[in-house]
Structure 1
Amino acid sequence: MSTPVSKHIRLIAFVIISCIGLESGISQKKEDFTEEVALISQKYEDLKESEQRSVVFTGSSSIRLWPGLEESFPDHQIINTGFGGSESKDLLKFIKPLILDFRPEKVFIYEGDNDLEYRKSPSRVLKNTKKILKKVWEKFPDTEFVLIAAKPSPERWRLKRRFQRLNRKLEEYALKSERVEFANIWDIMLMDEQLNESLFEEDGLHMNEKGYALWYEVLSKYIN
Structure 2
Amino acid sequence: MKKLVTLFVILCVALLIPPAVQAQQSTPPFWSEIREFKQQDSAQMPPANAILFVGSSSVRMWKNLQEMFPKHTVINRGFGGSNLLDLQRYLNDIVFPYQPKQIVIYSGENDIASDTVQAPEVLNRFKTVFEQIRREMPQVPIAFVSIKPSPSRLKYKPIIEEANQLICAYLKKQTKARYVDVYSKMMLPNGRPKPQIFIQDSLHMNQQGYQIWKKEITPYLIK
TM bin (shorter chain): 0.7 to 0.9
Displacement after TM superposition at 1:136 (Å) = 1.8
CA change 1:222–1:126 in 2 (3 A) is same
Instruction: Kindly provide the amino acid, as one letter, of the partner of residue 219 in structure 1.
Output: I
The aligned length equals: 198
Displacement after TM superposition at 1:28 (Å) = 6.3
CA distance in 2, matches of 1:29, 1:202: 34
The equivalent residue for 2:138 is: 141
CA distance in 2, matches of 1:28, 1:173: 36
The equivalent residue for 2:106 is: 110
The equivalent residue for 1:59 is: 55
Deviations 1:8-59 (A, max 9, x none): xxxxxxxxxxxxxxxxx9x9699621111111233344235x4x41211011
Check whether the contact 1:199–1:207 (CA below 8 A) recurs between aligned residues.
yes
Match of 1:207 among 205, 208, 213: 205
CA change 1:157–1:29 in 2 (3 A) is farther
CA distance in 2, matches of 1:80, 1:31: 21
The equivalent residue for 1:38 is: 35
The equivalent residue for 1:10 is: none
TM-score (norm 2): 0.82
Instruction: Kindly provide the amino acid, as one letter, of the partner of residue 215 in structure 1.
Output: W
Deviations 1:112-158 (A, max 9, x none): 10000102122222222222222222222101111111100111011
SS in 1 for 2:199: coil
The 5-angstrom pairing of residues 94-105 of structure 1 reads 94-105=90-101
SS in 2 for 1:191: coil
Task: Give RMSD over aligned pairs.
Answer: 2.2
Instruction: Kindly provide the amino acid, as one letter, of the partner of residue 173 in structure 2.
Output: K
The equivalent residue for 2:216 is: 218
CA distance in 1, matches of 2:193, 2:28: 30
The equivalent residue for 2:15 is: none
Structure 1 gap segments, 5+ residues each: 1-24
Check whether the contact 1:44–1:79 (CA below 8 A) recurs between aligned residues.
no
Give the percent of matched residue pairs that are identical in Structure 1 and Structure 2: 28
CA distance in 2, matches of 1:39, 1:206: 23
CA distance in 2, matches of 1:186, 1:28: 36
The equivalent residue for 2:165 is: 168
Displacement after TM superposition at 1:72 (Å) = 1.9
The equivalent residue for 2:79 is: 83
SS in 1 for 2:45: helix
